[in-house]
Amino acid sequence: MMFVLMEQPSVGSNVATVGWSDGSSLSRSGTGSRHQHMKLLLDRISLAFMGVTGAFVGVHAYFATQHFYDNFPGLGLRWLPQLGPFNEHFIKDVGAFYLGITVLSFIALANARKAIVVQMTGAALLVFNVLHFYYHLTMLHMYEPRDQWLNAILLGLTVVLSVILVIPSGPRH
């Protein structure tokens, strides 16, 4: 499924709209309310973000374990050595878990019109992201101020995106 430019179906109209390859659009035409279209868009953005970030962390941690430990999150930042010694088993487990989150997120993205799929995925992500966020908040004292802010903002964002997924939107068509 991908985002595409579509022609408006009304007769004599040259108006174009944007939408998803499954035929749903972001315009007010068609079934559903503006609120439902916005919720669907937010769900898709949240699931895509979770899937892409899960793939980044998962592939890196599972297949380049030592490099992940030494260099995560990248761009000259190093957030893991402060938290304890290298443990290959633990980091591979983290990688495997994140790859599972990736699969779950992309399956839910492909089924984003099914509210129950999105909400169940969101609930699972919310449990993980709240606990992950809380743990890192208790460890902020181990980081420099820039890294403290980045940890709080980025992990807080994952909680917000998970909450978006569990909010009901009404029936989807």
Question: How far separated are the first and last CA of the chain, in Å rounded?
Answer: 17
Q: What is the mean pLDDT of the chain?
A: 86
0.75 surpassed by pTM: yes
Structure tokens at 19: 């939408």
The number of distinct structural domains making up the chain is 2
Q: Please check whether residues 144 and 81 belong to one and the same domain.
A: yes
Q: Please check whether residues 70 and 145 belong to one and the same domain.
A: yes
Sequence-ordered list of residues with C-beta below 8 angstroms from that of 165, at least 6 positions apart, any chain: 43, 46, 47, 108, 118, 119, 121, 122, 123, 125, 126
Domain interval for residue 53: 32-166
What pLDDT, on the 0 to 100 scale, is given for residue 18?
A: 47
Q: What is the DSSP letter of 13?
A: -
Q: Please check whether residues 70 and 24 belong to one and the same domain.
A: no
Q: Please check whether residues 56 and 140 belong to one and the same domain.
A: yes
Q: Please check whether residues 56 and 26 belong to one and the same domain.
A: no
User: Position of tokens 């181990």?
Assistant: 142
Q: Please check whether residues 115 and 145 belong to one and the same domain.
A: yes
* pLDDT tens-digit readout, 6-54: 444 444 444 444 455 555 544 434 456 888 999 999 999 999 999 999 9
- Determine if residue 125 is left, alpha or beta; phi over 0 gives left, psi from -120 to 50 gives alpha, anything else beta: alpha
What pLDDT, on the 0 to 100 scale, is given for residue 3?
A: 43
* pLDDT tens-digit readout, 116-126: 999 999 999 99
Q: Is residue 173 part of a domain?
A: no
Q: Please check whether residues 12 and 39 belong to one and the same domain.
A: no
With residues binned 3-state (H G I as helix, E B as strand, rest as coil), the percentages for the chain, rounded to 5, are: 65, 10, 25
Q: Please check whether residues 4 and 42 belong to one and the same domain.
A: no
Q: Is residue 172 part of a domain?
A: no
